[in-house]
Each structure stands twice: as C-alpha cells, then as structure tokens.
Amino acid sequence: MRARPLLAALVALASGAAACTSEDARGPEPAAPLSAGGGVAAAAAGAASAVSAAPAGDPGRGQRLVAEYQCNRCHDGTGQAPAPRDAHCVQCHQDIAAGRFQAPAAAMKRWNENLVQLRDVPSLAAAGDRLRRDWIRGFLLSPHDLRPRLHATMPRLAIGPEQASDIAAYLTRDRRERPREPLGGASAARGRELYEAKGCGTCHAFTGAAGLTAVAPVKAMEKETRAAVALAPDLRHARDRMEPADLVAWVLDPGAIKPGTPMPQVPMSPAEARDLAAFLVTAQLSPRAPASAPARLPPLSRRVTYDEVDRRVFRGTCRHCHSEPDYALGDGGPGNTGGFGFKPRGLNIATYEGIAAGYVDDQGERRSVFSRGPDGVPRLVAALLARQAEEADRADPAVRGMPLGLPALGPEEIQLVESWIAQGRPQ
C-alpha cells in the first residue's frame, strides 16, 4: 500500500468560503455600540456599506473557475462532483482518523499522532444565503485566519480581481433575498446577555469585544463537537461576512439554511435572535494589535545536512505540494505537476536530486530554488519568510509565502534551511 503524500495538508483549502474585505484582511473597525431601535439598524447598514462594492461577476465563468481551481478537492458544496478519494485532500485525513484508510498499523498510529490539519473544512453549500458576495471576493484575494481553532487557512491562490468576482458570483447565484433591516427595535444590550447565557463563547471567539465571560472551549473529542469548535468563525467578522437578515435567520435555524452544518440550533425566539444579531453587529471592538513577523536568526555554525532538513522541514510540510508523482498515482502536488490553478513547476522536494533540479519558469527553463534575489536571500528561504510576513498582514505580491495555507515555519526551522544552503547543501 502506497501512502499518498497528499494525505497531510495538501494546499489547505481549508478555512472558509469567505472572510474579509478586499481592502483589509482584518475588516473595517466598527463605530461605538449603539442602542436599540433605529441606531441598531443604522449601524447594521453602516457595516454593510463598509464592504467595498465590486464588479458583479459572471457566474458561468465562476463555475468554470471553481473547476479549474479544484475547489472540490477540499470543499463540499462546490456544485462539482466530489473529487476521488485519492485526490481529495481532506477525505484522506478523515479516513485515517476514522481507521478506514488501508495502511500498516504502525503508519496509521504515527499519522494519527500528528493529524491536526485538514480534518475539518467548511462546506461551500448555501454560501449565497449566508455570506456577502463582496466579502467572498475579498477573501479570495486576501485570505486571513478566520477560524482561530482551525490549523490551516485558505491559501493565497494565483487569482485576480475579475476571477474572484466571477467565483463569488457563482457561489452566491442562488441567493434568497431577505428584508434588508430586520433589527428595528432590537436591543444590543439584551443580545449581549443572550450571548453569555446561550454559551456562544464555548465554540466562538469574539476578539476585540471587551468584558465577555471567558469560556473554555469544549473538548473536541467527538466528530460533531470537534467540527463545531474547529469551524466556528471569529465573530469579530460577522458584521462584514453577513447581512443582518441572514445573520438572524442563521442564528434561528442554521440547519435549515445549510443542512449538515455543525453549528447547533440553539433554542431562542425571533426577537432574541434579532437582539443577538444586534449585539454581534454593533459591539464596540478594540483595534487589533499590529502583527509582526519573528526575528530572523543567523545561520548556524554547526554542520547541517539534507537528512536533517528533510526530516524537520521538507518531509513535514513541503512534500505535500512538491511530491514525487510516481508515489502518488501521477499527482506530484500543485507545486510539481500543477493543480489548484497553478501551472506545473516541476519542483520535487521529495528527494535531494529533486530539489537540486529546481523548478520550471514561465519560459520553460529550469531555475534553481537556491539562487539569490537582489537582497541576497535564496529563493527558497524568501518564500518561507514571505509566509511569516503574510501572517503579519504584509503579503508581498511578488512572492507567494510557503507553506501555502499552513502556519509559517518557525525561526529555527527557517534558520535550519538557510544554514544548509549557506553550507553548500551537504547531503
């Protein structure tokens, strides 16, 4: 039995169908909280207008792009046929965790000990009934960490504004319109009390909202509990992701909108749902603290070999997108044989010879991943540093951070790679 390298976090199209605005990955900061009545409605309308308008997009082109970007390899609800298991990044992980994957017991035990990523991925079903079109577009262009308890994030794909508009139009093509302002007479103060009483913080973070009772998340042991906790978005973004009417309908009966969602139906009246929505869209939020990338460490003086770098870095992350095609039924991952909208680059990091052979540029020429840019940083190291910068909200349009959609490598791991390259890449 050959274990497929796509088992563990291939590209990580994981953390959501939509998230932030296209202007700022953090979303616009709200004004001070307002009282019930017209103030709540006005604040909700203001939150909607804060999401910048975008081209309407073409749903037909969007459908073709969803197929081209292979969204069905991670997400359900794409309108495409499910990907085969050998090509489905998430199903393999789920099968391993459930003991359904056919592999030696020792390998299964080792995989399960480290299986923390890509076991839960949000479905794109009913996206139009839940999420603002412009917000989906913005997320595709500038993804961020929407679900703080989910290991992976939506990767920064090679996608432009027109393509993002088309995909957003396709995902929201069947939207059911609801009244625009359902919050008249709602009380944000009562909504805050409901938030506490109903235990919303058990699964959800609400960063920036001061004074909420700290709640320890439930132990994510059972499938339903784990998925509910992992997929619960930070409610800081609710005002930007959803129209107030959609938010009320979702709170009342999430399963009626998106069958199979791990979000439970919490008993409450329509009036209570409006109060809760009023709190979510008007609560005063403190600005997010500026993020910073870790300090870069100097090269090590001790000898660093390929075996050590492979064991500590390449094998754990890089191989999943830059793997050996013969080991995975011809699929070497998006960074090698292509996929998820990326051209085949022929970069195989599964072997020493493969990484030494480099990648194929747009002209079809082989290039070294160890060549240095104008700043003297090797191309491979620059990609690893770029992922740290992306997590600090400083994405470089010219460099795609790696590992794609997964947490950045730590300073010690990047130091190891950089030291190995500086020492002449000894085996």
DSSP designation for 366 = E
What is the phi-psi region of residue 91: left when phi exceeds 0, alpha when psi lies from -120 to 50, beta otherwise? alpha
Task: List the structure tokens of 407.
Answer: 């947490």
Q: What's the distance, CA 342 to chain centroid?
A: 18
Cα 289 to Cα 389: distance, rounded to the nearest angstrom: 15
Assessment of whether the complete model's pTM goes beyond 0.85: no
**Is the Cβ–Cβ distance between 56 and 161 less than 8 Å?**
no
Tokens 């050590």 found at:
308
Strand, helix or coil at 339? strand
Whole-number pLDDT of residue 100? 73
Q: Is 342 helix (H, G, I), strand (E, B) or coil?
A: strand
Contacts of 363 (CB under 8 A, 6+ apart): none
Q: What is residue 313's predicted lDDT score, i.e. its pLDDT?
A: 94
Look at residue 319 in the predicted model and tell me its pLDDT: 80
The residue length of the chain stands at: 427
Per-residue tokens: 114 = 């480290």
Q: What does the alpha-carbon distance between residue 271 and residue 264 come to, in Å, rounded to a whole number?
A: 18
Give the pLDDT score at 143. Answer: 92
For the chain, residues with pLDDT lower than 70 are: 1-54, 85-86, 88, 90-98, 103, 107-118, 181, 216-224, 327-330
Give the model's pLDDT for residue 224.
Answer: 64
In single-letter form, the type of residue at position 48 comes to A
What separation in angstroms does the CA of 416 have from each of 17, 168, 303, 378, 423?
35, 40, 10, 13, 11
Give, in degrees to the nearest 5, the angle at Cα 142 between 138 and 147: 90
Count other C-beta atoms under 10 Å from residue 301's C-beta.
8
Of the candidates 368, 398, 397, 383, the residue with the CA atom closest to the CA atom of residue 313: 383
Residue whose C-alpha is closest to residue 322's, from 370, 365, 358: 358
Do 359 and 36 contact (CB within 8 A), yes or no? no
Which pLDDT belongs to residue 323? 85
State whether residue 376 is helix, strand or coil.
coil
